[in-house]
Amino acid sequence: MLTFETKVWENDWEFILKNNYLNKMIANCNFDFDQKTIIINNVKNRAIVEKHCEIKVKEGIIDAFYCVEDYAETVLDFFEIDLASFKGGYVYSIAELLGIYLCETEFLLHFSSDSLLKKNNSNWIKEGIKIIKNNPNIVLANPTWNYKFAEAKSEATSEIEDFYLGSGFSDQCYLIKTAEFKNPIYNEKNPISERYPSYGGELFEKRVDAFMRNNNKLRITHKENAYVSKNFPKNNWFYRGQLGNFLIQNRF
């Protein structure tokens, strides 16, 4: 029914794969996933990153990993996207598109590598899937971002069970019905979607937001569960046994 997915790139793969961070990402979801995968994108030494992914497979933490460079052309053709149309947003988009393209389960839960769900025993995933299945216009669910519950409520147009209902999209975390997104829907534009950072060009996040707004597709945001998206430190202090402190300080 559901695949867990995250991605790694040159500046974070060691943080994700060389300790228990990935294990914690998955465990905090409190869900028995059918598949758990990693997308590798933009790394200097692919062989080393793959080696560490293979260790995670042997440990049973993930089931598979995929490299963007092996599929990129096929993925762009499948979704009918012109590479030049990204205008700088390709690197922020291709891993997410590949994840959707490869997903074989009915639903897909994606976390950006620097987004971590607060540890809890909630069933927000099961509840979200149930609501999406019963409401054709609701196509994704997510926890509240960075504990900003008041902001999530203010952006909502209504409420449904334990969720706020509204528009918008973030690539930090999304639980989606795979079939809805496995279509050539990524070439639409909407004035409201221009709010995304200009350095990202025409990135995946912006394209999905435009598609949803143009087609009255909605998301639900859980009222009590939250994830934190926090950039990893740029030095290597966390390789000296400080991962635990980092997680505690950020309420993970």
pLDDT tens, 66-87? Answer: 999 999 999 999 999 999 999 9
Give pLDDT tens digits for 107-150: 999 999 999 998 776 799 999 999 999 999 999 999 999 999 99
Containing structural domain, residue 109: 2-249
Measured between alpha carbons, how far is 40 from 57 in angstroms, rounded to an integer?
14
- Cβ within 8 Å of residue 15, ≥6 positions away: 21, 113, 232, 238
- What count of Cα atoms within 13 Å lies in the side-chain half-sphere of residue 181? 32
Measured at the CA of 202, the angle between CA 147 and CA 91, to 5 degrees, comes to 80
- Cβ within 8 Å of residue 177, ≥6 positions away: 106, 107, 132, 133, 139, 140
pLDDT for the residue numbered 230: 78
Of 161, 136, 143, the residue nearest 217 (C-alpha): 136
Partners of residue 221 on adjacent β-strands: 142, 164
Measured between alpha carbons, how far is 143 from 227 in angstroms, rounded to an integer?
6
Burial of 200-216, coded b for 16+ CB within 10 Å and e otherwise, reads: bbbbbbbbbbbbbbeee
Look at residue 94 and tell me whether its pLDDT is greater than 60: yes
Question: What pTM was estimated for this model as a whole?
Answer: 0.92
Look at residue 151 and tell me whether its pLDDT is greater than 50: yes
CATH of the domain at 44: 3.90.550.10
Give yes or no for a contact between 208 and 215, defined as CB atoms under 8 angstroms apart. Answer: no
Look at residue 50 and tell me whether its pLDDT is greater than 90: yes
The two three-digit tokens of residue 26, written as one number: 């998955």
Q: How many domains does the chain have?
A: 1
Distance from the first to the final alpha carbon of the chain: 26
Give pLDDT tens digits for 213-229: 999 999 999 999 999 98
